[in-house]
Structure 1
Amino acid sequence: MKALLNHRSIRKYKGDPIDDSLLQEILTAGTRASTTGNMQVYSIIVTRDEEVKRQLLPLHFNQQMVMQAPVVLTFCADFNRFNKWCKQRNANPGYDNFLSFFTAAIDALLAAQNVCIAAEEKGLGICYLGTTTYTADKIIEVLKLPKGVVPVTTVVMGYPDEQPELTDRLPLAGVIHHEVYHDYSEGDIDQIYQQKESLPLTKKLLEENKKETLAQIFTDNRYTLKDNVTFSKNLLKVLEQQGFMNNDRTE
């Protein structure tokens, strides 16, 4: 509970390496995550080599923690291994569709979260990189991912060189629904976002970005419609290229 409730995204790292035995223990914890049908349709690419990290750096928008952190982990939805096993055991796999990608992506993210919690429990810092799906096509090239494998998230890991404050979260009442979904009234929305909107950080962001509301920073600056559409199209092409869009096959 302590590790969970004190999670911080770390973006500055010391140069100290992570011991092989410690990394092995953390990765083993990752493999104990829940998984669909015990198929474990994911793979984890462990990157320590400076040259490979240099190739990954621009694909993660030149975030320097990619180079600072001693370990970069790329979590992939992976039906390649499972498909090969099926074929070698005289079974006909039907996993070249979107549902199978979604299943494998869930498996990969569950493993990633186990890894992150285990790392934080051992005194390491982590940060998820949401850029992975934006540049999945280029990451596939760098990491030599075969058909049936798609990167879904990246985690940098190392010993923290900073101790940031805990990031704010919405109140529990804002995300929990009892028995059925209860849609939000205007008053509910005002109440749920009141604390976030009143933070000193929010005031600073509004001044820096010359915006009227925090919501506008998200829609106009951080996650724009144009970017969402561009990255969506790119990811859909990747899914087709990697063999996950054959949604009409029946046998």
Structure 2
Amino acid sequence: MMDVLLNHRTIRKYTDQPIDDTLLSDILTAGTRASTTGNMQVYSIVVTRDEEMKEKLAPTHFGQPVFKNAPVSLTFCADFNRFNKWCRQRNAEPGYDNFQSFVAAAIDALLVAQNVCVAAESRGLGICYLGTVTYNADKIIDILNLPKGVVPVATVTLGWPDEDPAQTERLPLEAVVHQETYKDYSMEDIDRLYQEKEELEANKQFVAENEKETLAQVFTDVRYTKANNEHFSKVYLDVLKKQGFLD
């Protein structure tokens, strides 16, 4: 299992080979063994295989080829709809129409998603996490017919790999692990911790292609701009209100 985790690669190209129903069921079952808040399992997973449904959903993921190329895509949702119904049918009044409950359900869904990813990779499948769900959650809700109490939080594509890409770099452990208390970073720390990342030829090319001076500017000025962050924040907050998690 350590080898599976340490050798993770994002796979964006898949073969035409389908994923067997039994294999997919085994992977999803492994996903459901993830830790969950109070053993409530306040999440749902929507499986997408149908080509027509892929066509409808593809624009919500900004047309990324990996979404349409994958034989299976999984949308992980924070879901209090099912739990609320169970409570009411058992003469218990749920009080989960709040942000705290959404956060708990979102954490549940993401823990399941990671279990699914590890289980899939352990069986030789490739996966790609799509971080586009929160940008267009309102449209995904409409397409997938998600009722009140259900909010999409992540999508993962699955398929048999048709590529063997290099691993994406990661910051050194020192950059992300703090012992006992949080140790803030000095300017010298930042320079040291990001040096290897900034000196990679692929990242230098990334900077040049975007006509920027630094890698950080690619993130702030091109990939994740303040204007876009504010716009999509509003969209997602509106979704949380519509789906019953915010007043």
TM-score normalized by structure 2? 0.99
Question: Cα deviations across residues 82-127 of structure 1 (Å, max 9, x unaligned)?
Answer: 0000000011100000010000000000000000000000000000
**Aligned length, in residue pairs:** 246
Partner of 2:87: 86
**Letter of the structure 2 residue corresponding to residue 96 of structure 1:** D
2:236 paired with 1:235: yes
Question: Cα deviations across residues 49-103 of structure 1 (Å, max 9, x unaligned)?
Answer: 1100110001100011111111010000000000000000011100000010000
Partner of 1:163: 164
Partner of 1:217: 218
Partner of 2:173: 172
CA offset at residue 163 of structure 1?
Answer: 0.7
**Letter of the structure 2 residue corresponding to residue 49 of structure 1:** D
- How does 1:1-251 map onto structure 2 within 5 Å? 1-246=2-247
Alpha-carbon distance in 2 for matches of 1:209, 1:57: 25
SS in 1 for 2:27: helix
Of 24-33 and 65-74, the range deviating more from structure 2:
65-74
The percent of aligned pairs where both chains have the same amino acid is 68
**Letter of the structure 1 residue corresponding to residue 155 of structure 2:** T
CA offset at residue 207 of structure 1?
Answer: 1.2
TM-score normalized by structure 1? 0.97
**Letter of the structure 2 residue corresponding to residue 120 of structure 1:** E
SS in 2 for 1:86: helix
Question: Cα deviations across residues 17-61 of structure 1 (Å, max 9, x unaligned)?
Answer: 000100000000000000000000000001111100110001100
Alpha-carbon distance in 2 for matches of 1:128, 1:89: 37
**Letter of the structure 1 residue corresponding to residue 3 of structure 2:** K
Alpha-carbon distance in 2 for matches of 1:168, 1:63: 22
Alpha-carbon distance in 2 for matches of 1:30, 1:89: 27
Alpha-carbon distance in 2 for matches of 1:67, 1:182: 43
**Letter of the structure 2 residue corresponding to residue 214 of structure 1:** L
CA offset at residue 210 of structure 1?
Answer: 1.0
User: RMSD over aligned Cα, in angstroms?
Assistant: 0.5
Gapped regions of structure 1 (runs ≥ 5): 247-251
SS in 1 for 2:132: helix
**Letter of the structure 1 residue corresponding to residue 35 of structure 2:** S
CA offset at residue 139 of structure 1?
Answer: 0.2
**Letter of the structure 2 residue corresponding to residue 210 of structure 1:** E
CA offset at residue 243 of structure 1?
Answer: 0.2
**Letter of the structure 2 residue corresponding to residue 65 of structure 1:** V
CA offset at residue 203 of structure 1?
Answer: 1.3
Gapped regions of structure 2 (runs ≥ 5): none
Alpha-carbon distance in 2 for matches of 1:245, 1:207: 43
Alpha-carbon distance in 2 for matches of 1:214, 1:63: 23
